[in-house]
Amino acid sequence: MTLLQLQSVDAAPWGDPVLTDISLGLAPGEVMGLIGTNGAGKSSLLRLLAGDFAATSGSVLFAGRALESWPRQQLAQQRAFLPQLSLLNFPYTVEEVVLLGRTPHSTGLRADQDIVRQVLRATDTLSLRNRLYTQLSGGERQRVQLARVLAQLWHPDDMRGTLLLLDEPTAALDLAHQQQLAATIAGIAARGCAVILVVHDVNLAASVSHRLLVLDRGQAVASGSPDTVLTPALFRELFHAEVLVQPHPNGRQPLVIGL
Amino acid sequence: MITNVIDRRRRAQRLLLLLVVTLPLAMLLALGTGAVHIAPADTLAVLLGGDRGQATLIVQQIRLPRVLLAGIIGATLAMSGAAMQGLFRNPLADPSLIGVTAGASLGASVLIVAGGSSLSGLAGLSLVSLGAFAGGVLAVLLVYRLASSENGTSVATMLLAGIAITALAGAAGSLLEFFTDNERLRQISLWKMGGLDGANLPRLLLASVVAGAVLLALPRYALPLNTLLLGESEARHLGIPVNRTKLALIGWVAVGVGTSVALVGTIAFVGLVVPHIVRLLIGPDHRTLLPASALAGAILLVCADALSRIVLAPTELPVGIITALIGVPFFISLLRQRHQYGMQT
């Protein structure tokens, strides 16, 4: 069963087309990495799936139902989006920010605080819990926002039917926290949460994704497992970059080395 | 600064309790304050139905409507300010940003110049007040229209449209003042300074009904406002009907502030400073910020009005001067310490 099904989707939210003829399917628990040059349409695809704008043609089905016909609150219980930038500049505490992720649910403060504690631990922000968000560093803020969207979908055992959209979640993270994010994504995917993420580090993308989708000027130009997609030819054509692609010492993924 | 969620909520509840207790005390003192001083015990006796001669007349006929009006208007301005700061995601926003104050001033000026101040209006309200209300609401409608497109309403555009409409209304007002005679010029100028001296029963009733509705309606948007601080898209992703929320907030604030300007003129800084200070004390959670701002705004305006009656007694100062004189130094001192409170603007 597919959770998300896009069929020949075009989108032109500001007049010019940003996405052209995109088709894809995503199963529960599947992790898809979006790669491509700046302006290729990666964020636009995420924002389309987040409902920020509608497709001009084609269909977007979420759990078998047209995305725009979902009741607002029910959709918010099953789909969360982490944007690139956060606008928050009010002095909420970290815990308050993450609690906002529980807005679509009516599970009560006690249960919500329990979930918040789990996602704070998963993002290594538990020690920041009582700090003011406005006084955090960029990387700390990014982890707190990640905790917020995780809290929106979190369930300790079963997260089937949920979709998490992450736009460059690692942009401000140090190496240790990038690895922690990869582990967190693997953890929620194992519980059935489908994840689509934009990552510029292709090796990181390869390590967290079951499947990669390569976008160029709004079109899907390649799709498949990391070892079939990440070839020297792709990097030459798309990024005008010479790379060496070798098997990773961990034996599970390709390793791309810039030359 | 380390703040636990539970501690913060407890602190908010303590502040609410303190404000609930302080407001009646401030009102009691304000009832005794003025050209004729009345002891709190006598004031209380009058309120409970006792007869204290001249004091009864002063308290019941003059000061009670005025103090109640001050409380209602102060609460409305402060709660509207809190809502606007949340909607614009800017702790320095103010209800006047959406054009309501400038529009109301122009509406009042037009009617004063047209001779409306000598005409009697409806039910104890002057035509000037009605003109001010109409001007304020029209200006907000215009700002809202300018900022709306088929993609929804842009808060940033609304801010800019508000600035444009405020400038336009200001220019039109100046033009009127330039061509009018000195007597009317002085009336316009006095009206703009604001004052509660026109308080009477019909005005109080009108304020109670309209502002009461606003004060009951705005807290229903506390949770949507909390999520709006994250950003509009983020609020939408959390299941909030963002456009409907924006329209409702703008509408209620326009009605509340429009009524307030129509009844007592422009009163500076209550809508800006009060929610700002309350937020520093208890954090940005609108579930407590909105009611606490309303109570604190009521207390501030009741006290400022009492001061305006005694500093130069028997002459009364326009209350807008007092609120600005209290508000501005306080505000500047807050700006200087803003990093301590986690403020970034």
B229 touches chain A (CB under 8 A): yes
Mean pLDDT of chain B, nearest integer: 86
Higher-scoring residue by pLDDT: B26, B118? B26
Break chain A into its structural domains and give their ranges: 4-258
Predicted-complex ipTM score: 0.93
pLDDT for residue B262:
86
**What share of chain B has pLDDT > 90, as a percent?**
39
Q: Which of B227, B241, B343 is closest, CB to CB, to A103?
A: B227
pLDDT over 60 (residue B117): no
Query: Is the pTM of the predicted complex or chain greater than 0.95?
Result: no
Cβ proximity of B81 and B211 under 8 Å: no
pLDDT over 80 (residue A258): yes
Q: Which residues of A touch B4 (CB under 8 A)?
A: 93, 95, 130
SS3 for A56-84, per residue? CEEEEEECCEEHHHCCHHHHHHHEEEECC
| Structure-block tokens of residue A113 | 């605080």
Confidence of residue B343 (pLDDT cuts 50, 70, 90): low
What phi, psi does A78 have (nearest 5°)? -120, -10
- Average pLDDT on A144-165 reads 95
pLDDT digits (tens, 9 = 90+) for A41-67: 999 999 999 999 999 999 999 999 999
pLDDT for residue B345:
45
Q: Which of A72, A89, A93 is closest, CB to CB, to B344?
A: A89
Higher-scoring residue by pLDDT: A182, B188? A182
What phi, psi does A158 have (nearest 5°)? -120, 110
Q: For residue A76, give how far its alpha carbon lies from the nearest alpha carbon of chain B (Å).
A: 5
Domain span at B27: 5-341
- Count how many domains chain B has: 1
pLDDT for residue B118:
59
Q: Which of B342, B333, B223, B239 is nearest to B289 (CA)?
A: B223
Q: Which residues of B touch A15 (CB under 8 A)?
A: none
pLDDT for residue B341:
55
- In this structure, which amino acid lies at residue A148? R
Question: Cα–Cα distance between A176 and A197 in angstroms, integer?
Answer: 19
Q: Does domain A4-258 have CATH number 1.25.40.10?
A: no
Provide the CATH number for the domain around residue B97. 1.10.3470.10
- In this structure, which amino acid lies at residue B330? F
- Classify the C-alpha dihedral A40-A45-A48-A52 as positive or negative: negative
**A86 to B231: CB separation less than 8 angstroms, yes or no:** yes
Question: Cα–Cα distance between B107 and B94 in angstroms, integer?
Answer: 20
- Average pLDDT on B276-295 reads 93
Q: Which of A50, A72, A96 is closest, CB to CB, to B5?
A: A96
pLDDT digits (tens, 9 = 90+) for B287-338: 999 999 999 999 999 999 999 888 887 778 888 888 888 877 877 877 776 6
Contacts of B77 (CB under 8 A, 6+ apart): B95, B256, B257, B260, B267, B270, B271, B274, B297, B301
- Average pLDDT on B61-88 reads 93
Q: Which of A4, A9, A1, A20 is nearest to A195 (CA)?
A: A4
Mean pLDDT of chain A, nearest integer: 92
